[in-house]
Amino acid sequence: MPRRLPSLALAIALALSGTARADEADLRAEVAQLRAELAALRGEVASLRAAQAAPLAAPPAPAASAAVAASSSASAGRTAAAPGAAADVRRVATTSDNATTLTGYGELNYNHPFGDAGASQADLRRAVLGFSHRFDEATRVIAEFEWEHAVTSADDAGEAAVEQLLVEHELHPGLGVRAGLMLVPLGMLNERHEPPTYYGVERNLVETAIIPTTWREGGLALYGNTEGGLTWSAGLTTGFDLSKWDATSGEGREEPLGSIHQELQLAKARDASVFVAGNWQGVPGLLVGGGVFTGKLGQGQDFAGRDARLLLGEVHARWQPGPFDLSALYARGRISGTEALNLTFVGQPSPVPQSFWGGYVQGAWKLWQDGDAAFAPFLRHEWVNTAANYAPVPPGLGAAPAATRRVWTLGANWWLNPAVVFKADLQREPDGDLDRLDLGMGYMF
């Protein structure tokens, strides 16, 4: 019996050893299977995050007026869709890992004056690249960079500029704040100026000469929307610098505010400006809105115009019943406190106007549509006066008010798709010099 004990013990030890090896092999197999399942789960989570990142990073739908979706798109006040296009026409490139959206637009125009064929001109008017990066569900940065006239140098007419650079943060649904260089939400063009979103080769005269384009200021703004269809924004920003007024040139006579716009380039900021703007879209196809911008223009400088103040207001409406697209806008500006300054400009061709105004009515008809492609003729009539009157000065020292310009534009937009458009129009100013053919091509993404 004692001899059998070592043999029995050895047999038991060998059996236990074999069982342990089998259990270890099974355990390794289970671990390998768990690792494979974990890798699969990680892949599914990555796919879900990628799918969620695109809508979070995508900008709001394009519109005729309101604010920006990573290009001209910082605002919560998006309005009607691009003429002849679906509601969301922006094609974006998005990287899902960091929710970054790339955007851009550009246009190439040709102008042929009938009275002076030698002055015909082709121009790569502008090329713009931008991005929107979402840091989290509530916060994003928006930037846009623009090059004009193809070549930028000290000896060329081109210009390079930062058109927007701002941070937006959603405080809670329906209310947010933005800070930085932002587009001012007045009119239907300033915040939504990509070529496929408006009619005509050139931007309309009213929203160029009366409301500057592209008008941006640095500051802080609140924005929001309601369930009833109201989008609004209000802000405290930089303003204009009247000390830049050049009474010897015709620039102020053509664009009163454009000539003293600072664009946040070492902007004098002693005097802040404020704005309030809103759009209501409570009825399908209808947009009604307006805005006011006001502020002192002297910027604390010691010159005769130090107490001058600007008040600029506008109202607009757009109605899109079926294939028709009808719109109207009126804007009026007033610069007070210019009497002493204009006395220093006696004898010069362009003193500072006391009031300036403009308006237009426009109608378009979507004559043909096939899928995303569309063709729409339009007619626009504009009235503009950039120097309607001047502040009173001693008799014989004042300047005569400017004549009101009346411009007709007849043309058509042809969209290959909602993001690419070809344009042609005829512009005629019965009592003025504008009489030309315009051709253009534009895109956005």
pLDDT at 24: 55
pLDDT at 9: 44
Question: Which of 224, 206, 226, 214 lies closest to 181, judged by CA?
Answer: 214
pLDDT at 85: 40
Q: What residue ranges of the chain have pLDDT lower than 70?
A: 1-98
pLDDT at 398: 85
What global pTM score does this model have?
Answer: 0.81
Q: How far apart (Å, rounded) are the C-alpha atoms in residues 83 and 365? A: 9
pLDDT at 6: 43
pLDDT at 444: 98
pLDDT at 83: 46
Taking residue 234's Cβ as centre, other Cβ atoms within 10 Å add up to: 17
Q: How far apart (Å, rounded) are the C-alpha atoms in residues 389 and 375? A: 41
Q: How far apart (Å, rounded) are the C-alpha atoms in residues 241 and 243? A: 5
Contacts of 418 (CB under 8 A, 6+ apart): 62, 82, 84, 85, 86, 89, 196, 372
pLDDT at 30: 63
pLDDT at 370: 97
pLDDT at 159: 94
pLDDT at 40: 62
pLDDT at 31: 53
Name residue 52's amino acid: Q
pLDDT at 373: 98
pLDDT at 37: 64
Q: What is the 3-state secondary structure (H, E, C) of the chain?
A: CCCHHHHHHHHHHHHHHHHHHHHHHHHHHHHHHHHHHHHHHHHHHHHHHHHHHHHHHCCCCCCCCCCECCCCECCCCCCCCCCCCCCCCCCCEEECCCCEEEEEEEEEEEEEECCCHHHCEEEEEEEEEEEEEECCCCEEEEEEEEEECCCCCCCCCCEEEEEEEEEEEEEECCEEEEEEEEECCCCCCCCCCCHHHCCCCCCCCHHHHCCCCCCEEEEEEEEEECCCCEEEEEEEECCCCHHHCCCCCCHHHHCCCHHHCCCCCCCCCCCCEEEEEEEECCCCCEEEEEEEEEEECCCCCCCCCCCCEEEEEEEEEEECCCCEEEEEEEEEEEEECCHHHHHCCCCCCCCCCCEEEEEEEEEEECCEEECCEEEEEEEEEEEEEEEEECCCCCCCCCCCCCCCEEEEEEEEEEEEECCEEEEEEEEECCCCCCEEEEEEEEEEC
pLDDT at 363: 98
